[in-house]
Amino acid sequence: MIVIDGRKTSVDLKNELKADIEHCRVATGKIPGLAMVLVGDNPSSQVYVRNKAKTCKEIGIGAKVIEMPDETPQEKLLEVVAGLNLDPDINGILVQQPLPSHIDEFTTTLAIDPSKDVDGFHPENLGQLLLGRLDNCFVSCTPFGILELLTRYGIETTGKHCVVVGRSDIVGKPMANLMLRKDDAANCTVTVCHSLTRELPFFTRHADILIVAIGNAGFITSDMVKPGAVVIDVGNNRIEDHDAKSGFRVVGDVDFRSVSAVASAMTPVPGGVGPMTIAMLMKNTVLSFKRMNALQGP
């Protein structure tokens, strides 16, 4: 079985982006800029933003972190976003979710200029994705990272049956639309399943490519997978582990031990899809800079 290594692939991609960013600097005298807005003191969000800012620094993207207190009114957050929309040094805007309960996430997403929505959450970007117009939109970073892994590992997709387990706006829905596109890296027949799908194992056992994003540790077992299938595990679940120093370990939505015995290729957790998400955020930010400055590749 082939282990689809997201850690190695993300390092390769970030090294490529370093060269791309240097090309941007030489051509324009400027570098891409990413603004990250963090509202409140959610510990996980703080870690995510810190890791994103660190990656920006590593590859040469200018990072601007704006921290706002938990009690920040919606109107104040929208004012900050409006200012970033107009800032010529900012090519990407990310408002870290989840937001405090009194702030409406959809309203906040709508306020972001679609041309700077490097998270790919704005309805305009989702609509362009639905139409297959990837040249005119930003794709949500996790599905975009999965597509990158499939492409770089030479996974054949044309004519294959892709089953996506999960229907979230961030992963499941955009992933399904990516795999439906008329493109050599797609052209799949796609089935979308979810928590209320009846006879779920029937569908998963017919998948040539199985992509799982349901947030349920070890839910997919070997008896639910077609022999030779490619399995992409998007899950990131903490379970108790008294032998671990932290008291827990991170596992996916797929039981790696049993499924790896029947799959032809599979992403591990951790080290599979996760590292690709931040890498694709960086790629989207560079892409935004190049669009705004009418630049081609190096």
* pLDDT number for residue 294: 86
Q: Which of the residues 5, 96, 160, 253 is marked catalytic?
A: 96
* pLDDT number for residue 91: 98
Q: What is the pLDDT of residues 218-236, one digit of tens each?
A: 999 999 999 999 999 999 9
* pLDDT number for residue 125: 97
Nearest-angstrom CA–CA distance, 154 and 258: 24
Catalytic-residue membership of 113 = no
Local confidence band at 248 (pLDDT 50, 70, 90 cut-offs): confident
User: What mean pLDDT comes out for the span 15-42?
Assistant: 96
The answer for residues whose C-beta is within 8 angstroms of residue 108's C-beta and 6 or more apart is 74, 77, 78, 81, 95, 99
Nearest-angstrom CA–CA distance, 216 and 195: 10
Catalytic-residue membership of 46 = no
Q: What is the CATH number of domain 140-274?
A: 3.40.50.720
Q: Assess whether pLDDT exceeds 80 at residue 169.
A: yes
The answer for residues whose C-beta is within 8 angstroms of residue 241's C-beta and 6 or more apart is 247, 248, 249
Sorted by where each begins, the domain ranges of the chain are 28-113, 140-274
Q: Assess whether pLDDT exceeds 90 at residue 93.
A: yes
Q: What is the value of pTM for the model shown?
A: 0.94
Q: Assess whether pLDDT exceeds 70 at residue 297.
A: no
Q: What is the CATH number of domain 28-113?
A: 3.40.50.10860
Q: What is the pLDDT of residues 117-144, one digit of tens each?
A: 999 999 999 999 999 999 989 999 999 9
Nearest-angstrom CA–CA distance, 65 and 73: 18
Locate 83 and state its tokens.
């200012």
Q: Which of the residues 5, 20, 117, 119 is marked catalytic?
A: 119
Fold match between domain 28-113 and domain 140-274: yes
User: What mean pLDDT comes out for the span 72-101?
Assistant: 97
Q: What is the pLDDT of residues 43-69, one digit of tens each?
A: 889 999 999 999 999 999 999 999 999
Local confidence band at 238 (pLDDT 50, 70, 90 cut-offs): confident
Catalytic-residue membership of 20 = no
Q: Which of the residues 5, 20, 52, 116 is marked catalytic?
A: 52
Locate 12 and state its tokens.
């390769």
User: What mean pLDDT comes out for the span 275-279?
Assistant: 96
Parallel, antiparallel or unpaired: strands 248-251 and 230-233 = unpaired
* pLDDT number for residue 206: 98
Parallel, antiparallel or unpaired: strands 237-240 and 248-251 = antiparallel
The burial class, CB within 10 Å (0-12 / 13-18 / 19+), for 158 is exposed
Average pLDDT of the chain to the nearest whole number: 95
